[in-house]
Structure 1
Amino acid sequence: MEGYAQRPERDDTDVLGARIIAQIVDTVVGSILGFGVFIVFGFIGGSVGDGGIITFLGFIASFATFVGYFFLLEGYWNGQTVGKRLVGIKVVKEDGSPCDLMSSFMRNLLRIIDGLFYYLVGFVVMAISDKRQRIGDRLAGTVVVREQN
């Protein structure tokens, strides 16, 4: 895994515009994946006959797919999601080492709080943070940086 060449400084984390675009792309991709899972469960529920339980399981599976999209990709795909890769940013640990699955899980654990009012909470916290970290980043000890060539 790559990580970052040095310990990221404040200037390395100046990627707010890219983070916004990446979040929009990732929300669309994650929603499509989650909806796809829900549709599959809907077809299964329709053929089995007891659609209520299957629909409920489909809802849970689609939510897990949406949430899992973020932490699994960041944990296994060099700190990137589809949106982050598209705009050339990635998540790394504060010391510059690669984001691993546990760090990704921790940073995304608080996504629900950071995401309140479509990420207004995360934006405000990033604005007052020295390294532009949202609450989940602080918990996980991660930062978002521009990809190095």
Structure 2
Amino acid sequence: MTTATDTLLDGTHTVLTPEYVEFRFTVAGLYSRFLAWLLDGLIVMGISLAVIMGLGVVSMAFEGLGNALAIVIYFLIEWGYSIALETVWSGQTVGKRALSLRVIQESGVRIGFYHAALRNLARPVDRLPFFYLVGGLAALVSGSHQRLGDMLAGTIVVRERRLRVPSALGTSGEEGLLADPLFVSRVKRLSTEERELVLSAALRREELRLEARLRLFSALGARLQDALAMEKPAHLSDEKWTLLVAAALVPRPDARAPAPRARALGRG
């Protein structure tokens, strides 16, 4: 049962893929989102003050115009700050990054400029009548803690989970393919989204039921053949093929660099 206190903390958002595999995202609660908003607000305030002070000549010459200009500058910087960073950083601002939060689409994929602009341009409505009262109430009654801007843009704010990638992913016996420069170079050219999908599937495959696991790796195997422009070796299963791609994304055991962390966007 969900209590009133739980609504301030994290929740869960589930996405069902076309392969009938469920991915669970940890939805950010109001408390963590407030802290991120507070940090971003301080940054916006500092940038705005710096710009306004730089335009102090206008304020001294035309006091009324200077005050109006200061208000316009503040709102332009606030909107521009959030829209620009959430677009460039795939759903993150400085505050969200510090709190390990990210805005994603309800379908589980990353947002673009359209979603970032839509959810941020709706902030004046969420602020009504003061201090985000409308937005806060909307988030409390929403199953995924969405304010009105999120509902309009079809987005949710989730908590990122970082998974440590082990040095071995069950690929023993296939070192020859991992040593193939053509295979490795093509794997390195995979998009960020494709890399995250492969690593997430490789690390969490034991959590899936057999039928869902077979469907997931069958779809991934076909997608990777297209992305790499390479045919899967006949003796490899779709899961083994995907694990080899994941292993090629991880530094070899003899490398001095520590094993990287794969961002899974909260998928569980």
TM bin (shorter chain): 0.7 to 0.9
- Relative to the length of structure 1, the TM-score reads 0.82
- Relative to the length of structure 2, the TM-score reads 0.48
User: For structure 1, which segment, 111-120 or 127-136, has the greater mean C-alpha deviation from structure 2 after superposition?
Assistant: 111-120
Following superposition, the deviation at residue 63 of structure 1 comes to 2.5
Count how many residue pairs are aligned between Structure 1 and Structure 2.
141
Distance in 2 between residues matched to 1:65 and 1:134, nearest whole Å = 21
User: For structure 1, which segment, 32-41 or 51-60, has the greater mean C-alpha deviation from structure 2 after superposition?
Assistant: 51-60
In structure 1, the residue matched to 2:123 is 111
CA contact (8 A) 1:114 1:136 kept: yes
State whether structure 2 residue 77 is matched by structure 1 residue 65. yes
- For 1:128-147, what aligned pairs fall within 5 Å after superposition? 128-147=141-160
Distance in 1 between residues matched to 2:65 and 2:152, nearest whole Å = 35
The sequence identity of aligned pairs, in percent, is 34
Distance in 1 between residues matched to 2:78 and 2:49, nearest whole Å = 9
Q: Deviations over 1:61-117 (max 9, x none)?
A: 333112211111111112111111111101001111111111010001111111232
Following superposition, the deviation at residue 59 of structure 1 comes to 4.2
Secondary structure of residue in 1 paired with 2:132: helix
Over aligned residues, Cα RMSD in angstroms?
Answer: 2.4
Distance in 1 between residues matched to 2:150 and 2:53, nearest whole Å = 33
One-letter code of the match for 1:78? S
Change beyond 3 A, Cα 1:122–1:10:
farther
- For 1:3-42, what aligned pairs fall within 5 Å after superposition? 7=15, 12-42=26-56
Q: Which of structures 1 and 2 has the larger relative contact order (alpha carbons within 8 angstroms, sep 6+)?
A: 1
